[in-house]
Amino acid sequence: MSTVLEPSTWTIDPVHSSVNFSVRHLMVSKVRGQFDTFSGTITVGENGAASVTAEVDVTSVNTRNEQRDAHIRTADFFDAEKFPKATFVSTGVTPKGADFVLAGDLTLRGVTRPVQFDLEFLGTNPGMGNGEVAAFEASTVIMRQDFGITIDMPLETGGKVIGDKITLTLEIEAGRQS
């Protein structure tokens, strides 16, 4: 295993990666979900500068509850018929101790906002006959209202059914392009 990412372009492997989220539910617990369809590339230049682009099919939302997933696809949340894709385009990667901060523009529901992911590079491996792979973990917290998701479902006892903060967690394995 290597802890150095060689200059190259890396393609996210959706079979060995995940794009997950969690949000408060009923003020006490969390609903967790994932997106089943996504893609992206990571490009590392000769000077060590890196860029990331990614696309998520929001219609592939999966919380293990079809009724909830159908509601999340509506205009109350993602408005997936009008905005079927979320995208991320990096604007910079900076060291933060042994890890990194990945800054970029997240577009969700037609709204683009700057976000910063805490990023951990997990290393590379020669792979299993299909070429070298690299692995990363990243997370950030966004405010749903910042992206036009303003639905409020108040509880009779106070508070809301759905929290304001959404935690995004990415576990990424990417293959080096030849």
DSSP 89-147: EEEEEEEETTEEEEEEEEEETTEEEEEEEEEEEEEEE--SSS--EEEEEEEEEEEGGGG
pLDDT number for residue 79: 96
The residue whose two tokens read 């369809």 is 37
- The answer to whether 46 touches 30, Cβ cutoff 8 Å, is no
pLDDT number for residue 43: 93
Specify the long-range contacts of residues 67-73, CB closer than 8 Å, at least 24 apart: 68/31, 69/33, 72/33
pLDDT number for residue 1: 47
CATH 2.40.128.110 fits 8-176, yes or no: yes
Dihedrals phi, psi of 58, to nearest 5 degrees: -70, -15
Q: Mean pLDDT per segment of 10 residues, for the chain of length 178 residues?
A: 73 96 77 96 86 97 95 93 98 92 97 97 84 94 90 67 86 90
Q: Which residues pair with 116 in a beta bridge?
A: 103
Domain residue ranges of the chain, discontinuous segments joined by +: 8-176
Closest CA to 144 of 153, 156, 135: 153
Which pTM value belongs to this model? 0.91
pLDDT number for residue 158: 67
